[in-house]
Amino acid sequence: MSTGVLVITGAGGVGKTTLSAALAVTAARRGLRTCVITVDPARRLADALGIDSLGNHPTEVGEQPGLAAAMLDVTASWEAMVHRHADPETAERLLADPFFRALADRFPAAQAYAAGEQMAEHIESHRWDLLVVDTPPAGGGLDFYTAPGRMKEVIGGRLLRWLTGASIPGRRALYKVTARPALKLADTVLGGPLLEEIAVFLMDLRSLYDGLSRRASAIELHLQRATSIVVATAEPTPLREARRFFEELEATAGRPETVVFNKQLPAGWTDTTSLRSPDLAQDVRLAARENLSNWASEVRRQHDVKQEFAARYKLNLVDVPWAEDAPTSVDALADLVAGSVDLLRHLPTAT
């Protein structure tokens, strides 16, 4: 079974996770075997999907036949990668290493890489017609695209080569900082056997290189083939992030063609003529005039910035309307995107 892949990207707080879920529900209703991987969903959205804790293994969504959902578990992803690519002894040592924990917990690219790894895992399982991937917000969405390359760099031994000199010893036991007087001195000044510890860690990490770099390249390929959709709102920060995304994303990375503006107000609100209606009571007119004209100018502003954005980056522009309540059921999720025809055409057709 060939799997269609929809990558939903964008800055934090714009509603990526909700839209990912909404598209996945819609796809399942069209008869596609669908899986959605969510990143840090809000409590009520997780409830709507019936997933109650972190877990990379997808759970069937009880309320929606044909749909399964998972919640990205970064730590578990890294542990699984280590177990897969390293021998048991090295794996155990790596997982106990404070540098490894720092890499897996704090490095923003580690979360982005884990999401890509899960994406590849699901594509290669051939279990789904459609995989919807909600992405981590780091770097305004960019990190998800750059993480495989950066991971290859770190593990590829750039740092290690410097620490060990030109050649990398085959076995970690062979490496001693004491053999390099300048580094020994650096360690003394810096205040700990830091460099030696890092070198040993990097050597262990390097044993993952072959497996991990092959996987990282596979993730890059999957990304190029996927359909990517950028989500933003017309607020300044998400717009700024979305601009940066398009300015900095390399052309080869599977560039999105569609931008979704979420939480949009109806365009008709710019019309203020009815406020001048003589039938309107004087006090109503006075009370409401300022705020309602404000909404009109807000809608005009949103319209202007969206058009400018779509034109500048040559994108299809899709509006998803503002919803009063966060969706708490699969029906509400489907309703959210029901009117956004230009968005739904990205779903593959059921065979």
Partner 1 sequence: MLDRKLTFISGKGGVGKSAVTASLALLAARRGSKVLVVGMVEGIGAASHLGTRELAYAPRRIRSGIDALAVNRTDALDEYFRLQLHVPRAAPTKVLSRALSVLAETAPGVREIVTIGKPVFELWQANYDLVLVDAPPLGQLFSYLRAPNTIAELVPAGPIRNQAGRMRKALLDLGTTSLILVTTPDELPVLETKEAINELIAEPVIDLAGVVTNRVLPPLGLSEDGIATLPQGSHRDAAEHHHAVQAHQETWLPQVSAGPRLPYLFGLHTAGEVAEQLADIWDELI
DSSP element (H, E) containing 337: helix 330-338
Which one, 292 or 310, has the nearer CB to partner 1? 292
- Minimum distance, C-beta of residue 56 to partner 1, in the bound complex (Å): 21
Nearest Cα neighbor of 248 from 154, 139, 152 is 139
Toward partner 1, which CB reaches closer, 59 or 270?
Answer: 270
Question: From the CB of 106, what's the least distance to partner 1, in Å?
Answer: 6
Query: Cβ of residue 311: shortest distance to partner 1, in angstroms?
Result: 16
Distance, in Å, from the CA atom of 131 to the CA atom of 36, rounded to the nearest integer, reads: 6
In the DSSP assignment, the letter for residue 193 is S
Nearer to partner 1, 148 or 238 (CB): 238
Q: Which residue lies nearer to partner 1 by CB, 149 or 348?
A: 149
Q: How far is CA 14 from the centre of its chain?
A: 12
Question: What is the distance between the alpha carbons of residues 139 and 150, in angstroms, rounded to a whole number?
Answer: 13
349 DSSP 8-state letter: P
Strands (E), the chain: 4-10, 34-38, 55-60, 67-71, 130-134, 227-232, 258-264, 316-321
Place of tokens 């609100």: 269
Q: How far is the CB of 215 from partner 1 (least distance, A)?
A: 21
C-beta of 282 vs 351, nearer to partner 1: 282
Query: Which letter does DSSP use for residue 173 in this model?
Result: G
Q: How far is the CB of 267 from partner 1 (least distance, A)?
A: 9
Smallest distance, partner 1 to C-beta of residue 11, A = 7
**Residue (58 or 141) nearer to partner 1, CB:** 141
Which of 97, 53, 45, 105 lies closest to 74 in space, CA to CA? Answer: 105
